[in-house]
Amino acid sequence: MRWTDLFRAALLCLLCSQALAGPKPSFLLTADAWINLHHFLYHSARHALEPPARGNRLPPRSVDAAAELDDEEARIWRKALDVYARAARRDLLFDGRMRNFTQAVAAGEAGQAGASDEAGLFTALREAMLVYRRHWWPEHEQCARRRIEELEPKLARYGVQMRQRMESRYGAEWPRDGILVALTPYADERGAYTTSGGAVGNLIVFSCEDPRYVDMAGFEMLFHEAGHAEPFSTRIGRASQQAAERHGVAEGRLWHHYLFHATAAALRELVGDGYRSYADAQGLWRRPSTARLPAWFEAAWTRQPELDALFDHVHARRAAAAAEEGPPPGGP
């Protein structure tokens, strides 16, 4: 057999194996001890620095378990919290170093972090892991796996159709490698956040304990968070910003309001018009500044289902409404 025949045979085997493997899942749901410890230490340290906020509450069990540590365990845990006390003053999403570190932890590459602060954080993680596994991880893992078990049947039933609808409404193809999702009791005050461009690419940190993310609301918000991933985030943000500039209005985070609407609208197509969305439940559309947006979004989508045209239509409506209302009292 000639080498060209061998090459063709090898190529055919490769193509066949890829076809048999099928497409990668939209989301890779994980219950990872390292990511959980990282967020638990962050929120525990933050809890000690400031009064508990909406996303910074620690369940009584999480606080009380610290009293069960022996002297050596307590020393190790206090040392880790001291290191994280500096990091807790930085935001997990908006601080670039924290984003990169979380991505590195998710990829198992945190030991390669160059900055001394990040190296110190990873050392704190390694030293605290045994204590964490003994006293907190079983409970946290159970929480994460419970939410995974809740989400997986919904993804199996609606995931492919939802993905296709979101690709259309988000104006780009789904990330080829899927989106890694780390389930943890402690995400942040938003309940979930998404980072891109680090060691694992797209990463969603998603609360398994936030009551706002139970049942279909959690499924909806998983796809909402996907809109913060690449390439969707850049595509949506750019389309909205360019349309706002054309009509002479501030973008006003319209792109984010669109994520809420688009995800809920796509889900209603699958489960029925009676579905009450996360935004409805949280009162997002009851504000004077946002009350008209769902109707404007849907009218634009019905008229021409294309992202640039949609934002052009909605920002035009915003500009016209602002002209009709005129300047605020006492303004120029």
What are the DSSP calls for 298-327, one per residue?
Answer: HHHHHH---HHHHHHHHHHHHHHHHHHH-S
Q: Is residue 63 domain-resident?
A: yes
How far apart CA 210 and CA 191 sit, in angstroms, is: 6
How far apart CA 269 and CA 31 sit, in angstroms, is: 31
Looking at 195, 211, 230, the residue that finishes a domain is 230
- Asked if residue 39 and residue 131 are part of one domain, the reply reads yes
Among left, alpha and beta (phi > 0; psi -120 to 50; other), residue 275 is beta
pLDDT computed for residue 51 by the predictor = 58
| Residue 27 · residue 178 · CB < 8 Å | yes
This prediction's pTM? 0.87
How far apart CA 160 and CA 60 sit, in angstroms, is: 39
Residue 55 token pair? 């996303």
pLDDT computed for residue 16 by the predictor = 46
What helix, strand, coil percent values describe the chain, rounded to 5? 65, 5, 30
Give residues with Cβ within 8 angstroms of 222, minimum separation 6. 27, 151, 181, 204, 206
* β-bridge partners, 206: 183, 192
- Asked if residue 151 and residue 119 are part of one domain, the reply reads no
- Asked if residue 313 and residue 277 are part of one domain, the reply reads yes
Looking at 187, 207, 230, the residue that finishes a domain is 230
Looking at 230, 256, 285, the residue that finishes a domain is 230
How far apart CA 43 and CA 16 sit, in angstroms, is: 47
| Residue 155 · residue 28 · CB < 8 Å | no
Peptide bond just before 60 cis, omega within 30 deg: no
How far apart CA 93 and CA 265 sit, in angstroms, is: 27
pLDDT computed for residue 57 by the predictor = 52
pLDDT computed for residue 23 by the predictor = 62
Q: Is residue 19 domain-resident?
A: no
Q: What is the largest CA-CA distance in the chain?
A: 88
How far apart CA 108 and CA 311 sit, in angstroms, is: 40
Q: Measuring CA to CA, which residue among 115, 128, 36, 136 is closest to residue 82?
A: 128
Q: Measuring CA to CA, which residue among 24, 38, 65 is closest to residue 176?
A: 24
pLDDT computed for residue 327 by the predictor = 58
What angle (nearest 5°) sits at the alpha carbon of residue 189, between those of residues 177 and 259?
50
Q: Is residue 332 domain-resident?
A: no
Q: What is the number of domains present in the chain?
A: 3
Q: Measuring CA to CA, which residue among 109, 218, 95, 113 is closest to residue 155?
A: 218
pLDDT computed for residue 292 by the predictor = 96
What angle (nearest 5°) sits at the alpha carbon of residue 263, between those of residues 100 and 146?
65
User: What is the three-class DSSP state of 204?
Assistant: strand
Q: Is residue 13 domain-resident?
A: no
pLDDT computed for residue 170 by the predictor = 95
Q: Measuring CA to CA, which residue among 94, 107, 285, 264 is closest to residue 190?
A: 94
Q: Is residue 283 domain-resident?
A: yes
Question: Given the DSSP bridges, would you call strands 179-184 and 192-198 parallel, antiparallel or unpaired?
Answer: unpaired
Q: Is residue 181 domain-resident?
A: yes
- Asked if residue 129 and residue 49 are part of one domain, the reply reads yes
Domain region containing 65: 34-136
Residue 158 token pair? 């609606």
Tens digit of pLDDT at every position of the chain (332 positions): 454 443 344 434 433 444 445 567 899 999 999 999 999 999 999 887 775 544 445 554 455 566 689 999 999 999 999 999 989 999 999 999 999 999 999 998 654 544 445 788 999 999 999 999 999 999 999 999 999 999 999 999 999 999 999 999 999 999 999 999 999 998 988 899 999 988 999 999 999 999 999 999 999 999 999 999 999 999 999 999 999 999 999 999 999 999 999 999 999 999 999 999 999 999 999 999 999 999 999 999 999 899 999 999 999 999 999 998 765 444 43
Q: Is residue 157 domain-resident?
A: yes
- Asked if residue 96 and residue 158 are part of one domain, the reply reads no
Q: Is residue 154 domain-resident?
A: yes
Q: How many CB atoms lie within 10 A of CB 31?
A: 20
